[in-house]
Structure 1
């Protein structure tokens, strides 16, 4: 997929967020995300993710490889596109290490998923939970928020 695919995916993710905002009534997208995340207890904020990255968490970015190549990545994240995640989380540890050059997460490891704007990472979270992963969360702000916040912090 090229930029057209990325733009379409971004449009779909933003449409999902707009729907959530419209259903929740007046308020900002971030306020709606905080409500949705706090209800589930499975969301992390930008600040929480920065703190978690100082510890032994496994951070999986489920965007497509071309998105990582073109726009960058959050440091120390493993790129496993959402389309590969089902197979990856069920691989043998040796095959996982060979494919992704990282330790395979166990069902007890603390794992945080991210994507562009929180839609695919939520799908990844739901899938991991269905497989029995107990300490999984997602970063709803995604790479878009990370890049903006990092840029502001460096000013």
Structure 2
């Protein structure tokens, strides 16, 4: 029986069942540059893709792509794509309104929801023209029947496309409120992260 001649890098186990042209494709290690004395040297994209061209078939291109990534890892010319901005609130800073921006918005038809607790409102006051819906009630409130919402909060129920601004004492709870509202499909929501603490630096609160 004539013995099948295998490529020098091909073992019996790894090349079993492959077509002859596939066995002639070198592994990734053969496409990477060899280290010279005095430190490692990285191959450029042209050299590696020439290695891919020399390899036959789709496997050669796959190995070339892997070699490009390996050659560029750790500070080479290749870099993985940076993650783009995400709508996830855990991914970074959430845009916030300034005092003046909120003040200007209040001249329009915007619903300003203060998510602090009721005792905070009673003790310290509130930002004028805001409605108090404590954070613990917010998810339920935003899913209420419009008539029930108006009866409880003396405010018209916002549509999911209506502009809504959330605030609290200093931004932590308003950020959560923003996340809740977005998860329920409200598309025009914002937060005033400076909250009550920032507002009273500019003008006095409204007290009962």
TM-score, normalising length: structure 2:
0.53
Between structure 1 and structure 2, the one with the greater Rg is 2
The match for 1:60 among 84, 88, 113 is: 113
Segments of structure 2 that go 5 or more residues without pairing to the other structure are: 1-91
Deviant stretches of 4+, over 4 Å: none
Pairing of 1:6-155 with structure 2 (within 5 A): 36-37=93-94, 41=95, 43-150=96-203
Bigger relative contact order (CA 8 A; separation at least 6): 1
CA distance in 2, matches of 1:110, 1:52: 9
CA distance in 1, matches of 2:149, 2:164: 15
TM-score, normalising length: structure 1:
0.71
Deviations for 1:34-93, whole angstroms, at most 9, x for unmatched residues? x934xxx4x211110000000000000000000001001000100000000011000000
CA distance in 1, matches of 2:118, 2:156: 19
More helix by share: 1
Segments of structure 1 that go 5 or more residues without pairing to the other structure are: 1-34
Partner-residue secondary structure (3-state), 1:36: coil
- Give the number of aligned pairs: 113
CA distance in 2, matches of 1:106, 1:52: 17
